[in-house]
């Protein structure tokens, strides 16, 4: 049997945290479901740019010439080229992360067929809403705080609603004949029970993008040397300067000989001493490689397999890829239905509250005055506070607020 006083205490804080977090959770769930369609939206936009009509009898420009055309039209220095087996415009890339921009060159006409940035589509607004509530750095931290409390909500919810009175059927059945309050409460509880583990995995995949937790995680990777090897991006590797550099076309031949799976990208040398790099984006992640070549001789300077990547980085990349539904159809549908069920669970919580709340009262669950917080609970809260710093700060603020209110009441009574 569960400790009923402890159960009531957890229920009180589950309720309060849920009421504060619920509007944000709904936004994250809806925008997350929509953002899963990002690859399809971007694919349509890119295909319009890349689509070309081969001109009979016209010789295609070689890759070196196409690079020169693209560089003339790019404000930033180009850093990569994407290989394609199809008869489409060639993609050259400048910038990184949010500043990444693709310039496409028609190999027949030698003209720019178009440019593309992620922010060119309406999906960019969805991303900003999902990741930072359109609030910049402050919004990012609010999302991180809500995600931290979601972990607590899931853990407390599992304990509170585990069917110790209804038996195991409580996780399979929803009572629809016992009133609206019971119906919506069961919808919330049963749905939450079945997606709880998935939600924790999805949240784990989102935390690496956060400011505080993500920054701390990167620090741990650095200290424990469990991130990418220093040479993964070519740092510390130096080409032996020769008389003549390899042309981009010669590098393409070398890259194709590697027979890598997925989308192959050739990283261009940043200076006369740096290297060419050949990498591939594919799933499973274990098939990804990074190979560096001397830009003069073409010899292999460093060959990296996925096994060379540190364990924390591998876990991070797996979780982030899962969070975005990148492992194929099963992953995409699993995340989409999880987002839909999270929305249903959140809405049912609102109706459950409305049907149980008394008029002119907030309906916050009461806790017996005799309940004492154990050392185990305190240790658990401290561990969660250290793991999720914004959650820890919020708990401290809640405790300080309670202390101040208690002090004011004593002052008035005196």
With pLDDT > 90 as the criterion, what percentage of the chain qualifies? Answer: 71
Tell whether 398 is covered by a domain. yes
Picking from 71-85, 151-165, 217-231, 293-307, which range would have the lowest pLDDT averaged per residue? 151-165
Where a domain ends, among 124, 158, 186? 124
pLDDT of residue 246: 94
Across-strand partners of 80? 93, 267
Residue 400 lies in a domain: yes
Q: How many CA atoms lie within 13 A of 333 on its CB side?
A: 3
Q: Using 50, 70 and 90 to split pLDDT, how confident is the model at 104?
A: very high
Query: Which pLDDT belongs to residue 164?
Result: 60
In a domain, 237, yes or no: no
Candidate from 27-31, 119-123, 161-165, 192-196 with smallest mean pLDDT: 161-165
Confidence label for 411 from pLDDT (cuts 50, 70 and 90) = low
Q: If phi over 0 gives left and psi between -120 and 50 gives alpha, with beta otherwise, what is residue 133?
A: left
Q: Which residue has the tokens 């032996």?
A: 240
Cα–Cα distance for residue pair 264/105, rounded to 1 Å: 17
pLDDT band (50, 70, 90) for residue 243: confident
Tell which of 74, 108, 124 closes a domain. Answer: 124
- From the list 142, 212, 219, 126, the residue with the least C-alpha distance to 385 is 212
User: What kind and span of H or E run contains 104?
Assistant: strand 101-105
Report the pLDDT value the prediction gives residue 69, as an integer from 0 to 100: 95
- Which stretch of DSSP H or E encloses residue 344? helix 329-356
Which residue has 């040479």 as its token pair? 231
Is 125 a residue whose pLDDT tops 60?
A: yes
Please give the model's pTM, rounded to 2 decimal places. 0.89
pLDDT bin (cut points 50, 70, 90) of residue 343 is: very high
- pLDDT, position 97: 83
**Residue 404 banded pLDDT, cuts 50, 70, 90:** confident
101 three-state secondary structure: strand
Calpha distance 221→32 (Å, rounded): 27
Torsion of Cα atoms, 141 then 143 then 148 then 152, to 10°? 140
pLDDT at 361 over 80: no
- The pLDDT, as a whole number, for residue 106 is 94
Q: Per the structure, how many domains does the chain have?
A: 2
Tokens linked to 386 = 């250290």
Calculated CA dihedral for residues 404, 406, 412, 414, nearest 10 degrees: -120
Is 341 part of any domain? no
Last residue of some domain: 93, 124, 155? 124
Inside any domain, residue 247: no
Angle of helix 38-50 relative to helix 123-132, nearest 10 degrees? 150
Range of the domain at 56: 38-124
Least reliable range by pLDDT among 159-163, 253-257, 327-331: 159-163
Please report the DSSP string for 263-310 in residue order: EEEEEPPSSTTSEEEEEEE-SSGGG--EEEEETTT--EEEEE-GGGS-
Asked if the structure places residue 102 within a domain, the reply is yes
Position 1 scores a pLDDT of 58
The pLDDT value given to residue 163: 67
Helix (H, G, I), strand (E, B) or coil at 323: helix
What integer best gives the mean pLDDT of the chain? Answer: 91
Under DSSP, the state recorded for 44 is H
Q: Which of 94, 112, 72, 87 is nearest to 268 (CA)?
A: 94
Measured in whole angstroms, the distance separating CA 102 from the mean position of its chain's CA atoms is 22
CA distance 188 to 173: 12
Asked, for residue 103, whether it belongs to a domain, the answer is yes
DSSP 3-state of 118: helix
Residue 111 has a pLDDT of 93
Number of Cα atoms under 13 Å in the Cβ half of residue 277: 20
Query: H-type helices in 163-247, by residue range?
Result: 180-206, 212-224
Q: pLDDT at residue 179 above 80? A: yes
Residue 170 DSSP label: G
Question: Are the C-beta atoms of residues 113 and 52 closer than 8 Å to each other?
Answer: yes
Residues 6+ apart with CB under 8 A from 16: 364
pLDDT digits (tens, 9 = 90+) for 14-43: 988 888 899 999 999 999 999 999 999 999
């Amino acid at each position: 049997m569960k400790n009923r006083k402890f159960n009531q205490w957890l229920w009180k804080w589950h309720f309060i945290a849920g009421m504060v977090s619920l509007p944000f959770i709904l936004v994250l769930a809806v925008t997350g479901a929509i953002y899963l369609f990002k690859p399809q939206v971007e694919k349509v936009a890119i295909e319009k740019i890349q689509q070309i009509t081969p001109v009979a009898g016209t010789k295609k420009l070689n890759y070196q010439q196409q690079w020169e055309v693209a560089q003339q039209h790019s404000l930033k220095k180009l850093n990569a080229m994407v290989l394609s087996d199809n008869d489409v415009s060639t993609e050259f890339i400048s910038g990184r992360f949010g500043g990444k921009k693709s310039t496409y060159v028609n190999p027949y006409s030698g003209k720019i067929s178009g440019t593309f940035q992620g922010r060119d589509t309406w999906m960019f607004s969805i991303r900003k809403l999902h990741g930072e509530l359109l609030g910049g750095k402050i919004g990012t931290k609010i999302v991180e705080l809500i995600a931290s409390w979601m972990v607590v909500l899931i853990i407390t919810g599992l304990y509170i609603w585990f069917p110790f009175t209804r038996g195991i059927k409580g996780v399979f059945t929803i009572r629809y004949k016992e009133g609206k309050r019971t119906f919506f409460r069961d919808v919330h509880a049963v749905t939450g029970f079945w997606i709880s583990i998935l939600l924790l995995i999805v949240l784990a995949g989102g935390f690496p993008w956060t400011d505080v937790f993500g920054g701390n995680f990167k620090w741990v990777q650095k200290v424990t040397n469990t991130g990418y090897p220093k040479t993964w991006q070519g740092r510390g590797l130096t080409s032996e300067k020769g008389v003549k550099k390899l042309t981009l076309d010669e590098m393409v031949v070398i890259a194709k000989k590697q027979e890598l799976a997925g989308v192959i990208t050739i990283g261009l040398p940043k200076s006369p001493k740096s290297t060419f790099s050949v990498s591939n984006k594919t799933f499973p992640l274990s098939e990804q490689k990074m190979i560096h070549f001397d830009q003069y001789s073409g010899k292999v300077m460093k060959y990296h397999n996925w096994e060379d990547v540190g364990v924390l980085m591998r876990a991070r990349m797996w979780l982030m890829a899962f969070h975005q539904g990148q492992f194929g159809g099963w992953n995409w549908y699993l995340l989409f239905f999880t987002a839909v069920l999270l929305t249903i669970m959140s809405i049912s919580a609102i109706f459950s509250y409305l049907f149980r709340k008394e008029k002119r009262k907030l309906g916050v669950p009461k806790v017996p005055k005799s309940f004492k917080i154990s050392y185990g609970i305190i240790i658990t809260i401290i561990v969660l506070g250290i793991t999720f710093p914004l959650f820890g700060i919020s708990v401290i603020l809640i405790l300080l607020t309670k202390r101040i209110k208690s002090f004011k009441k004593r002052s008035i009574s005196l």
